[in-house]
């Protein structure tokens, strides 16, 4: 199926299992998951964060002091982060082996909505002195202990999410009225964080999430709410085409969990769907007639086991299934026509790159196809020597490949000029004379065009059958260095021969710094 939209309808996911996580009295909400660890908020009698271990069944309440109000958790790699509100401030907490700690403690901090991935904890911050109603996004590096402010404006930045490796963030940026919301993303490299906007004025976005490869989000356009996905680095946007209203998208390893409103049900309600970006298939996960199913996360392991915790009727449950074997695991094909492998071009020649990427009819679609320059634009021929051209591609399933072709750029050598002749003609010269070696490189390329140690010559056998042409022009000057004449557009090198070469034949080799070698044959009298 071509990329861009899943079929209107839901595919069969195969066996689906449902497991109760917490059905105790009170209200349990906002479940998050990573691997075997599920975190959620429990509101009985006051709001606390609990962790449930799927492997052992252990259910643990995270310690809090009287007056603490804990909510909005996130989970990654056996750790949980959440927001803690008390009379003094709202802070970001982190529970990890060894116990819970406050992240970057600040007196009077006003933070909420933390997200966790790798060594990055990010949150929505109201404490940078921003105007009323606005907030910023901040990222804390657990390894270095440093905090980076990613936004700095009078807008409302919120709903931050972090990829599992901690190198990608996404959030929405809105007016302080919580309108005109767009999705932004930031990626971390060795030089720091770099942020960019992913969506424009075409919709009203909410609740983005990222797995480091794609960003998913809810967007309302023309009065209809749907779930969309696009590559983190930017690219073609994809929409899940299902009847009714969809929203609250989350993503793990290219699989998106979301809520869909079943308008045609006897009692209209919210159920859960999983959308596999690789196969572009959507699967029904729940069909609950007695209440609304709400979610906030998804976990997919390397074997395709999908686990989605959700809240229904004030309880926490978990639905899981294994992806059918329909995922796109094949990297896109790259056709790099120009430059061809081993191609040779002349200095300054205009050569347009020619390449394309193809994921095939059964693929998930191309998300990026990038060369050293865009296809159709000139490749580098600005200097001589060996060069390379690389094309990289990635599909919507995260499969990547690259192709590199080596090519070379040479001077436009115009051949030896009079009085020299190129092989097979043998130049007849007087031993001990100074022979002018003249050639053209289509312009002044500087006086450093000769390779080190050149020109050089060596004795070779004389070929009595080769045509012979006498050197009519000789030099008596002692000047032997390379010179260039702009009037004649010509290089000259005076080759001083030896008197004892009489009766022998030699070959002169002129090697240029582009790696090419040009030869002339001589017989000395």
CATH of residue 62's domain is 2.120.10.30
Domain assignment of residue 3, yes or no? no
Same-domain pairing of 443 and 386 = no
Place of tokens 């709410």: 225
Same-domain pairing of 386 and 433 = no
Domain assignment of residue 111, yes or no? yes
Same-domain pairing of 165 and 239 = yes
For strands 400-410 and 343-346, give the pairing.
parallel
List Cα–Cα distances, 172 to 161, 214, 232, 448, in angstroms. 10, 15, 14, 56
Q: What's the pLDDT score for residue 474?
A: 52
Q: What's the pLDDT score for residue 458?
A: 95
Q: How long, in residues, is the chain?
A: 525
User: Which DSSP symbol is given to 453?
Assistant: T
Domain assignment of residue 240, yes or no? yes
- Domain count for the chain: 3
Same-domain pairing of 127 and 214 = yes
Residue 508 CA neighbour count, 13 Å, CB half: 26
Domain boundary among 303, 322, 341: 322
The 3-state DSSP class for residue 331 equals coil
Measured distance CA(429)–CA(472) in Å, rounded = 8
Q: What's the pLDDT score for residue 131?
A: 87
Same-domain pairing of 162 and 215 = yes
Domain assignment of residue 154, yes or no? yes
Domain assignment of residue 418, yes or no? no
Same-domain pairing of 346 and 307 = no
Of the listed ranges 4-13, 87-96, 383-392, 422-431, the least confidently predicted one is: 4-13
What's the CATH code of the domain at 497? 2.60.40
β-bridge mates for residue 52, sequence order: 38, 59
β-bridge mates for residue 18, sequence order: 319
Read off the pLDDT of residues 260-294 as tens digits, 9 standing for 90 and up. 997 776 678 899 999 999 888 899 999 887 788 99
Place of tokens 């971390």: 188
Find out whether 70 and 48 touch, Cβ atoms under 8 Å: yes
What's the CATH code of the domain at 337? 2.60.40.10
Same-domain pairing of 241 and 280 = yes
DSSP characters over 205-250: EEEEEE-SSEEEEEEEETTEEEEEEEETT----EE---SS-EEEEE
Residue 291 has phi, psi (to 5 degrees) of 180, 175
Domain boundary among 284, 300, 322: 322
Which of 437, 444, 443, 441 shows the shortest CA–CA distance to 509? 437
Report whether pLDDT(463) > 90: no
Measured distance CA(115)–CA(491) in Å, rounded = 67
pTM assigned to the model? 0.66
- Domain residue limits at 467: 426-524
Same-domain pairing of 337 and 318 = no
Kindly report whether the peptide bond that precedes residue 419 is cis, defined as omega within 30 degrees of 0: yes
Dihedral of the CA atoms 460, 463, 467, 473 (nearest 10)?
A: 30
Same-domain pairing of 117 and 236 = yes
Report whether pLDDT(2) > 50: no
Read off the pLDDT of residues 487-511 as tens digits, 9 standing for 90 and up. 999 999 999 999 999 999 999 999 9
Find out whether 201 and 174 touch, Cβ atoms under 8 Å: no
Tokens of 154: 């009078």
Domain boundary among 410, 434, 450: 410
Domain assignment of residue 161, yes or no? yes
Same-domain pairing of 171 and 224 = yes
Same-domain pairing of 308 and 357 = no
Domain assignment of residue 5, yes or no? no
Place of tokens 């680095």: 233
Same-domain pairing of 405 and 461 = no
Measured distance CA(316)–CA(294) in Å, rounded = 10
Residue 277 has phi, psi (to 5 degrees) of -65, -30
Domain assignment of residue 374, yes or no? yes
Q: How confident is the model at residue 473 (pLDDT cuts 50, 70, 90)?
A: low
For strands 246-252 and 505-511, give the pairing.
unpaired
């Amino acid at each position: 199926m071509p990329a861009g939209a899943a079929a209107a309808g839901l595919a069969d996911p195969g066996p689906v299992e449902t497991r109760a996580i917490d059905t105790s009295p009170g209200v349990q909400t906002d479940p998050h998951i990573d691997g075997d660890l599920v975190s959620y908020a429990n509101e009985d009698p006051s709001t606390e964060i609990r962790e449930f271990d799927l492997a052992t069944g252990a259910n643990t309440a995270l310690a809090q002091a009287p007056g603490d109000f804990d909510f909005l958790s996130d989970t990654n790699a056996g750790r949980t982060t959440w927001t803690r509100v008390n009379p003094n401030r709202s802070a970001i907490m982190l529970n990890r082996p060894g116990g819970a700690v406050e992240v970057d403690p600040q007196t009077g901090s006003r933070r909420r909505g933390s997200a966790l991935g790798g060594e990055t904890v990010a949150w929505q911050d109201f404490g940078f002195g921003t105007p009323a109603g606005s907030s910023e996004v901040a990222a804390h590096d657990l390894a270095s202990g440093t905090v980076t402010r990613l936004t700095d404006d009078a807008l409302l930045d919120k709903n931050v999410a972090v990829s599992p490796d901690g190198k990608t963030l996404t959030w929405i940026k809105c007016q302080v009225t919580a309108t005109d919301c767009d999705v932004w993303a930031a990626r971390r490299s060795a030089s720091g964080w770099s942020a960019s906007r992913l969506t424009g004025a075409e919709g009203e976005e909410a609740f983005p999430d990222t797995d480091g490869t794609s960003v998913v989000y809810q967007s309302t356009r023309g009065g209809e709410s749907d779930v969309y996905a696009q590559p983190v680095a930017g690219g073609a946007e994809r929409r899940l085409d299902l009847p009714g209203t969809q929203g609250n998208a989350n993503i793990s390893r290219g699989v998106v969990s979301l809520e869909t409103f079943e308008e045609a049900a006897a009692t209209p309600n919210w159920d859960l769907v999983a959308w596999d970006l690789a196969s572009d298939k959507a699967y029904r996960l729940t069909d609950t007639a007695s209440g609304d199913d709400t979610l906030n996360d998804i976990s997919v392991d390397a074997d395709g086991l999908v686990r989605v915790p959700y809240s229904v009727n004030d309880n926490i449950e978990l639905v899981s299934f294994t992806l059918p074997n329909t995922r796109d695991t094949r990297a896109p094909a790259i056709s790099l026509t120009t430059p061809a492998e081993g191609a040779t071009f002349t200095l300054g020649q205009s050569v347009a790159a020619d390449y394309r990427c193809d994921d095939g009819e059964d693929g998930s679609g191309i998300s990026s196809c990038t060369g050293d320059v865009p296809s159709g634009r000139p490749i580098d021929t600005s200097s001589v020597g060996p060069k390379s051209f690389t094309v990289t591609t990635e599909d919507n399933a995260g499969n990547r490949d690259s192709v590199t072709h080596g090519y070379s750029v040479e001077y436009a050598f115009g051949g030896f000029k009079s009085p020299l002749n190129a092989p097979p003609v043998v130049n007849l010269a007087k031993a001990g004379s100074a022979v002018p070696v003249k050639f053209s490189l289509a312009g002044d390329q500087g006086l450093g065009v000769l390779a080190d140690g050149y020109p050089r010559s060596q004795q070779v056998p004389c070929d009595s059958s080769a045509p012979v042409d006498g050197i009519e022009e000789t030099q008596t000057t002692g000047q032997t260095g390379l010179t260039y004449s702009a009037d004649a557009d010509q290089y000259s090198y005076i080759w001083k021969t030896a008197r004892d070469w009489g009766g022998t034949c030699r070959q002169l080799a002129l090697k240029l710094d582009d790696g090419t070698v040009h030869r002339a044959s001589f017989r000395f009298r």
